[in-house]
Amino acid sequence: MKSEMSVKQRGNAKVITKVGVLSAVATVLMLFDFPLWFAPNFYQLDFSEVPVLLGTFALGPVAGIATEFVKIIINFVLNGSDTGGIGEVANFIVGCSFLIPAGLIYSRNKSFKTAILGLLAGTLTLALAGSVMNYYLLLPVYSKVYGAPIQAFIDMGNLLNPAITDLKTFVMYAVVPFNIFKGIVTSSIVLLIYKRISPILHK
């Protein structure tokens, strides 16, 4: 009995250690962000979800959620928050909307096919959650924080795409494409490197 408990404790310690390492890598990757040509430059693409998804596939959705949470907390501690933590909570929810469907689908039958299906599902839920969060929470919050009307954000979007004329079209033509692009790029990287990284994560 003690032996079984000892093995379980060592296993849990290893998972916690891996979550910590993946979170640290994700935090570093958050520093290297860049804008995309079709969205206002306050939307920055980074690859911090790559280690989160690698952990999700290797260790399970719970570990993935933990990695996402620790990543957000580390970034909050290091860089602070302009939104009193609201933006960080929203980012956590949006990140989980990506990793949870991907992790759940992949964990049922671990194969290349289910990895693709999971990442496709995750990308769609990422786009949906990102749209809802931006429309109802993030854009209104940033409007208050920076003392700028939401119309200012819409005008920035309109300069890039004349079809953007109000908040709904802003979300449709800027937020949705941004998150779909992010999901596709992140998923592609994960699919390319997971088999190489997997033995290390399972070690």
The CATH-assigned architecture of domain 2-29+45-202 is: Orthogonal Bundle (1.10)
pLDDT in tens, 80-114: 887 778 889 999 999 999 999 999 999 999 999 99
Instruction: Tell me the domain boundaries of the chain.
Output: 2-29+45-202
**In the predicted model, what is the mean pLDDT of residues 18-44?**
93
Q: What is the mean pLDDT of the chain?
A: 91
Number of CB atoms found within 10 A of residue 31's CB: 11
Kindly tell me if the per-residue pLDDT of 3 is higher than 70: no
What per-residue confidence (pLDDT) applies to 14? Answer: 87
Residue 56 near residue 103, CB atoms below 8 Å: yes
d(CA 195, CA 136): 39
Structure tokens at 120: 């496709």
Instruction: Give whole-number Cα distances, 159 to 40, 153, 162, in Å.
Output: 9, 10, 6
Say how far residue 180 (Cα) sits from the centre of its chain.
12
**In the predicted model, what is the mean pLDDT of residues 39-43?**
91
Instruction: Give whole-number Cα distances, 133 to 29, 72, 97, 176, in Å.
Output: 23, 16, 11, 11
pLDDT in tens, 51-65: 999 999 999 999 999
**In the predicted model, what is the mean pLDDT of residues 179-196?**
96
Which residues lie across from 34 on neighbouring strands? 45
Number of CB atoms found within 10 A of residue 182's CB: 22
Confidence band of 74 (pLDDT split at 50, 70, 90): very high
Residue 143 near residue 150, CB atoms below 8 Å: yes
b or e along 116-135 (b: 16 or more beta carbons within 10 Å of the residue's beta carbon)? ebbbbbbbbbbbebbbbbbb
pLDDT in tens, 105-147: 999 999 999 999 999 999 999 999 999 999 999 999 889 888 8
d(CA 160, CA 70): 35
